[in-house]
Amino acid sequence: MKNKKPLIVVAILSMLMILTGCGASSKQALINHYDEMSNQKSAKATFKMKVTDFDIPVKGSGDSSSAKQLIDVVKASSITGDIYSDGKNGKGTIKLNTMNKTVPLEFVGNDKNIYMGADFYNSLFQLMSSFGMTPPKYDFSKLAGKYVDLIALMNESSSVKSKVSSDQKEAATKAVNKSQQDSSAVLKEIIDTLPKDAVTKKDGVITATLHKEDVKKTIEIYNKYIKDHKDVDAKPIKQKDIDEFMSEFKAFDIIIKYDSKASTLNYTLTVEPKDGGKIGFEFDTKSEKYDGKIEMPSKDKIVSPTEFTNQMNAITGGH
């Protein structure tokens, strides 16, 4: 593919499309649901993403059995996660499940600090051993239950010329909030513009199916919103790039299912490249209220940048 930029836009809009494509009454129901979840100070979201199709033509005289083995590994893998917010602090765990192993990435933070669970490295190296790599001889129990202060680590990095000030943190938080507001506005614009007959409703489940031309139209709606709202921090995608990107596919289908009673969202994205094959993804998510309280790691659980660098050197054999 000559231009990858539309791919990024399509991927983002595919996620947004989870809430789109319904008739008048259903549109308003989805908008109300989106606003309710967006405005909740405390919330919990769980999600799962998996590959449903990964049929890629193997070209050349290479080892086709190795390629098939890799394809089978990808199809058997998934990404799952849980994300929580209590209105002040947030936490979450994202897990890569592959080759009978799980690599969890835990994080916790707020608008001032971000911490990452150091246990991640143990799981990562164990996964690498599945590819024939010898895991380092290191006592990973030293990092068990510990957290890395990502802001402090970035400030200590020799590649960072200036430290991240509190003003910069606040500016970054405002930028994220502005981005969320823009996404919400674009989403509502898309919901309001899509045709009424692009949906079916049965047993409380709304199902919308969008094909290649529908997805192109969605990107065009996105472009129009960007052009009409000069304060949005984004640039429209050139029509030439959209057409060029979409011309790479025989089919580009998105199926969205929304269950208002269960508060679940499901979508599948399936593409068929012109040069053959088929690639498909499925994404499930469930949102609900969260009444718990999230605590930041205590000082004795936080690994200092110097200690973390020393630990990494011990793991990798660096100096």
Q: Are 260 and 33 contacting, i.e. CB atoms less than 8 angstroms apart?
A: yes
Distance between CA atoms of residues 125 and 103, nearest Å: 9
**Other CB atoms within 10 Å distance of the CB of residue 192:** 13
Q: Give the residue among 200, 180, 235, 190 at the shortest CA–CA distance from 18.
A: 190
Beta strand pairing call for 78-85 and 43-55: antiparallel
pLDDT recorded at residue 173: 54
pLDDT recorded at residue 7: 42
Residue 214's φ and ψ, nearest 5 degrees, are -65, -40
Distance between CA atoms of residues 110 and 250, nearest Å: 44
Distance between CA atoms of residues 185 and 225, nearest Å: 9
Q: What is the mean pLDDT of each run of 10 residues along the chain (319 residues)?
A: 44 42 48 57 84 79 68 87 89 90 88 85 77 72 84 67 54 55 60 66 80 82 76 76 88 86 87 91 88 91 83 69
Q: How many Å separate Cα 180 from the centre of its chain?
A: 14
Residue 263 CB partners (closer than 8 Å, separation 6+): 33, 286, 287, 288
Residue 12's φ and ψ, nearest 5 degrees, are -65, -45
Residue 214 CB partners (closer than 8 Å, separation 6+): 194, 198, 254
pLDDT recorded at residue 293: 92
In this structure, what token pair is assigned to residue 109? 């933070």
In this structure, what token pair is assigned to residue 267? 């979508």
In this structure, what token pair is assigned to residue 92? 């979450």
Helical (H) or strand (E) element with 153? helix 150-156
Q: Are 250 and 272 contacting, i.e. CB atoms less than 8 angstroms apart?
A: yes
pLDDT recorded at residue 78: 92
Distance between CA atoms of residues 316 and 220, nearest Å: 48
Q: Give the residue among 262, 286, 265 at the shortest CA–CA distance from 208.
A: 265
- By residue count, the chain amounts to 319
Q: How many Å separate Cα 134 from the centre of its chain?
A: 30
